[in-house]
Structure 1
Amino acid sequence: FWVGSNGYLGFTNGQISAPFNSIPNVSGAQNFLAAMACDLLFDVSNAAECWRYVNPTNDTLIVSWINVPFYDAVTPAGAGNNTFQIILSAVDSSITYQYQVQSGVPAAGTNVVIGIENNSGSIGLQHSMNVFPPVNYAIKYYYPSNTTYVVNDASTSYNDNTETGGLFRSRNGSPFTMKTSVKNTGNQNLASYNVFSRVLNAGGGTVVSDNKMTIASTPGQTENITMTNTFNPTIAGTFRYVTNTQLPGDATPSNDQKVQEIVVLDTTVTAIRLSYDNGVEAGLGGLNWTGGSGGAAIYFVPPFYPAKVTDLYTYIVANPMSFGYSMVVYDDNGSGGAAGTKIDSIYVTAGSIFTSSWNNIVLPTPITVNSGGLYVAWKMNGDGLTLGQNQVPPFSNRTFEILGSTWATYRYRETEDLMINIGIEKIPVSGAGINEGALANYFGDFYPNPSSDLATINYDIPFNVKNIFYQLYDIQGRIVKLSSSDLSRNNGKLSINVAALDAGIYSCKISVDGQTLTKKLVITK
């Protein structure tokens, strides 16, 4: 589950923020418990706390919001005070909200909702709307002793990673494995059903697709699925990895599909720009926060290691009051991969900002990324400064919003990307000392495999090499084919004509400047 700073628990990773709508509502986030969903503020300048407790028998969860004020654009620390909690009990399957302190109202007005909503947004129980609860008050939802309500529902939880976060891949690099997680989100046992995955190009054409049947499942059960077919990134461009559950009579079609953005880049060029947007600003006036103390960020994972970050880019829509802004880079070594150590911070003066345009910041000291990724944050230093928004799908699901010192999932991440990019370069290193385990990161697998004609393997090596050659061995260890000449490119593909070879299992030993890697190849007739 996810704890929302705005007074709710979510069971999918979506944000609930102002304006707070009535319950139920099919728009926005679903599948949540709203104890006091309103514009609250956690910041280092106030005393707000949030705690969770699980009892020793593991049948009760308590999440408490303590001394949390309302967001106030005029008062940085917030105004008012609220202390309340949510209690989930497996003993009687109940949900309880308790309120100890409630004073003040948000500066923007009394906009608050209390209730529960299901995973489709079509069913919910609203306790109250735009009325704050009294102190020393409790609300308890009981599960009915008998129910005839039947829900047959399967959903796609995520593609590839738990955020269905976008990826950058190297053209002619290793194949992309289509992995997904599905869940029985109904209240009935489900028989096996089909899961359909495919990768689509920018025009909507299918590049690769596959199907797999699930196992039978009980309510709440998840299953991780790996498709057999893989996506070979031979063409640069933006692709969509789409997965659908295909349960007959599915109750909630809106949760059947997940879409992941995959950006394939030509990494043979010197300067490489990582961008999830297509460069088209939405024309909505840009993103900003009233009071001028907010910001936004994007998480970037480079398509190769080591990578050298050389440039930061932001698209600024407007700056009517001539304020500057800061660009801050964070390591992803925080809790659970969140933004952690600050790596660099650069202030951009008002006089150097171009509006309705990209602004390029060259890092005085480039940042080397050897693993994982980094967060790049844009932080306002005054009111009215606006960041570009891109609403052309697919979307990265890598965006965050920043209010004061508090980070949260960007509230519109499923319908837009924010226009922050970075520039990277490869770091020329010697191949000496690279072992087989490291080489495996730079080579894909043979495709098609099994093969009866031409078998191909893509590779993308992030350092200069002198030669690459291969030797193909049969099951008796005899060399049956070898490269006729050395290959000196560090990015491309290696193709082997196997039409004249007998059916069987073969081993291909690939040598890179004296270091070797072995790949299996099956030949059929």
Structure 2
Amino acid sequence: NNCGPYAIGFDFPYYWYTVDEVIIGSNGYISFTDRDNYAHPFSVLPSEARPNNLVCPLAGDIDFTRGDPECWYWSNDQDTFVVSWINVAEFWPDPGQADSTHTFQLILTAADSNLFFMYGEQRGHYEGGSGEYVIGMEDVSGTVGLQYCKTGMPYGNVFHPDLAVRFYAIPDTLFEFYDLGVQSAMAEQSIAPVYFTGDEVLLTAEYRNNGTHPQYDIETRVIVRDPEGTELWRDTIIIASLEPQETVWLEYSPTLAPAMTGEYGIEFRLYVVDEV
């Protein structure tokens, strides 16, 4: 599972954008925006499969119900943010290892846009069960990233006590990236709401320009279906422009008043008008 978001305390430059909060995953990772759980089978980095915007100092099957694990975060509210996973146990213990546990840390430093992965005491190497772990990072779209190690490969990058891994930024003024997306639907982080029959339900969505350039004439659409899958109506709103990293919440009409019990389908879409 995961928790947050927690404020970093400053704007951290990450790829071509900045972030100011983190969601901390019990499986040894953070995401800057995505609350979906990163779990077995762990996808490679980068991957368009959610969650995205990941930083993984040691993402694997971790069980916080075993032993005496701890997870802490700290910020000086200026330029340094730290997350520590201490004595966290594998869900599948390393065969023959009485207490297969790991201690590691993530450090973000804004002054140089660096990420540090620091490794303390290590007992076992995720050799039981699935045996999978991932070390690396990716961007908000899951298309740009860097994987340092996955499940022992390459062998020379296997984590060990006293290891420190530094990720540093190489500026690229020619880099271009175009991406629009639905950031949240119906509620922040798209948490599924529950309503009663006859309630007045506002249809809202948050859209974000994740790219490096402004986008114009963005057509957004909501499609509403009843529990039987029958389309009830659709509505369209045009966003005149969105600057890079800008977000906007839209409210569609009419409101939904559920007439029957069950699961209603509310689908949000967007298009760049020139590309439709």
What is the TM-score normalised by the length of structure 1? 0.43
| Structure 1 residues 195 and 55: CA distance shift in structure 2, 3 A | same
Alignment partner of 1:65 is 2:85? yes
Check whether the contact 1:152–1:249 (CA below 8 A) recurs between aligned residues.
Answer: no
Check whether the contact 1:53–1:62 (CA below 8 A) recurs between aligned residues.
Answer: yes
| Structure 1 residues 187 and 55: CA distance shift in structure 2, 3 A | farther
Alignment of 1:299-314 (within 5 A): none
Give the aligned partner of residue 29 of structure 1.
51
Aligned counterpart for 2:137 among listed residues 101, 113, 116? 116
Give the aligned partner of residue 238 of structure 1.
263
Aligned length: 245
Question: Separation in 2 of the partners of 1:205 and 1:37?
Answer: 41
Question: Separation in 1 of the partners of 2:93 and 2:168?
Answer: 39
Alignment partner of 1:174 is 2:199? yes
Give the aligned partner of residue 81 of structure 1.
101
Check whether the contact 1:208–1:230 (CA below 8 A) recurs between aligned residues.
Answer: no
Alignment partner of 1:144 is 2:170? yes
For 1:9, what is the secondary structure of its paired residue?
strand
Question: Separation in 2 of the partners of 1:56 and 1:119?
Answer: 23
1:25-66 deviation line (CA, Å, top 9, x unaligned): 3445332111111122213x5221111112132x33211111
The structure whose RCO (Cα within 8 Å, separation 6+) is larger is 2
Question: Separation in 2 of the partners of 1:155 and 1:27?
Answer: 14
1:353-402 deviation line (CA, Å, top 9, x unaligned): xxxxxxxxxxxxxxxxxxxxxxxxxxxxxxxxxxxxxxxxxxxxxxxxxx
Question: Separation in 2 of the partners of 1:130 and 1:55?
Answer: 33
| Structure 1 residues 118 and 146: CA distance shift in structure 2, 3 A | closer
Question: Separation in 1 of the partners of 2:112 and 2:273?
Answer: 32
1:387-435 deviation line (CA, Å, top 9, x unaligned): xxxxxxxxxxxxxxxxxxxxxxxxxxxxxxxxxxxxxxxxxxxxxxxxx
Alignment partner of 1:195 is 2:224? no
Question: Separation in 2 of the partners of 1:211 and 1:60?
Answer: 43
Alignment partner of 1:214 is 2:239? yes
Question: Separation in 2 of the partners of 1:248 and 1:102?
Answer: 53
Give the aligned partner of residue 262 of structure 1.
none
Give the aligned partner of residue 69 of structure 2.
48
Alignment of 1:56-455 (within 5 A): 56-57=77-78, 59-72=79-92, 79-106=99-126, 107-108=128-129, 110-131=131-152, 132-171=158-197, 173-202=198-227, 204-214=229-239, 216-247=241-272
- Flag structure 1 segments of 5+ consecutive residues without an equivalent: 251-525
Deviation at 1:237, TM superposition (A): 4.3
| Structure 1 residues 111 and 170: CA distance shift in structure 2, 3 A | closer
Deviation at 1:235, TM superposition (A): 4.3
| Structure 1 residues 219 and 97: CA distance shift in structure 2, 3 A | farther
Deviation at 1:203, TM superposition (A): 5.0
Percent of counterpart pairs with the same letter? 24
Deviation at 1:236, TM superposition (A): 4.4
Equivalent AA in structure 2 for residue 62 of structure 1: V
Question: Separation in 2 of the partners of 1:215 and 1:161?
Answer: 23
Check whether the contact 1:207–1:231 (CA below 8 A) recurs between aligned residues.
Answer: no
1:186-229 deviation line (CA, Å, top 9, x unaligned): 22233352221121234544312222233633332222221232
What is the TM-score normalised by the length of structure 2? 0.77
Give the aligned partner of residue 435 of structure 1.
none
| Structure 1 residues 177 and 71: CA distance shift in structure 2, 3 A | same
Check whether the contact 2:219–2:273 (CA below 8 A) recurs between aligned residues.
Answer: no
Deviation at 1:12, TM superposition (A): 0.4
| Structure 1 residues 170 and 68: CA distance shift in structure 2, 3 A | closer
Question: Separation in 1 of the partners of 2:274 and 2:166?
Answer: 32
Deviation at 1:7, TM superposition (A): 0.9
Check whether the contact 2:93–2:100 (CA below 8 A) recurs between aligned residues.
Answer: no
Check whether the contact 2:183–2:189 (CA below 8 A) recurs between aligned residues.
Answer: no
For 1:29, what is the secondary structure of its paired residue?
coil
Question: Separation in 2 of the partners of 1:146 and 1:163?
Answer: 31
| Structure 1 residues 236 and 70: CA distance shift in structure 2, 3 A | closer
